[in-house]
């Protein structure tokens, strides 16, 4: 096996996801992975089978805003198979967050599929802090859609962006 985790002596990993929107759970994984790897690429997927609330560019911009204090984090977007993106970036290490057993089943299937498509690709799993084990972008959007409080779920920049997407009626 030829793991290309290091490029010029630097350990690089990719943390892929939809991030629609980025939550405190995502940021927990980003911050922790940024401490483990020399460089972390947060790769925002433009999933053609989903109808995202935020455009790819908006999601990337929000992540850049909330990770600006992390100099070793790069934000990028992709519209392809993960293994193809990894090949373009010349990186073979994927970081994925796990909240619950149900996540593990799905993530194991994805890791196995990626490994089948490219045997050099390895997936490293990071468990979320228990504080975020229930948190998902879908839950955040549902709460925001009905003008519920999302302050403890997302950074202030994301909360403001959600308010713009779901304005309170002026009747």
Q: Which of the residues are catalytic?
A: 26, 50, 99, 137
For residue 141, what are the contacts with CB-CB under 8 A and spacing of at least 6?
20, 21, 53, 162
Instruction: Please state, in angstroms and rounded to a whole number, the distance separating the CA atoms of residues 156 and 163.
Output: 11
The 3-state DSSP class for residue 69 equals: coil
Q: What phi and psi values does residue 93 have, to the nearest 5 degrees?
A: -120, 120
Q: Are 97 and 9 in contact (CB under 8 A)?
A: no
Instruction: Please state, in angstroms and rounded to a whole number, the distance separating the CA atoms of residues 60 and 135.
Output: 20
């Amino acid at each position: 096996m030829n793991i290309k985790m290091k490029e010029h002596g630097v350990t690089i990993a990719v943390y892929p996801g939809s991030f629609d929107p980025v939550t405190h759970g995502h940021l927990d994984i980003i911050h922790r992975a940024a401490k483990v790897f020399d460089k972390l690429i947060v790769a925002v997927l433009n999933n053609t089978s989903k109808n995202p609330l935020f455009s790819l560019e908006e999601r990337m911009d929000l992540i850049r805003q909330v990770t600006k204090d992390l100099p070793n984090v790069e934000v990028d977007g992709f519209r392809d198979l993960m293994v193809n993106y990894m090949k373009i970036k010349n990186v073979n290490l994927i970081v994925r967050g796990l909240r619950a057993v149900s996540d593990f089943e799905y993530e194991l299937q994805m890791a196995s599929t990626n490994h089948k498509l490219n045997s050099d690709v390895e997936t490293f799993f990071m468990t979320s802090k228990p504080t975020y084990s229930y948190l998902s972008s879908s839950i955040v959007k549902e709460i925001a859609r009905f003008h519920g409080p999302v302050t403890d779920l997302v950074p202030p920049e994301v909360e403001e962006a959600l308010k713009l997407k779901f304005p309170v009626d002026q009747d």
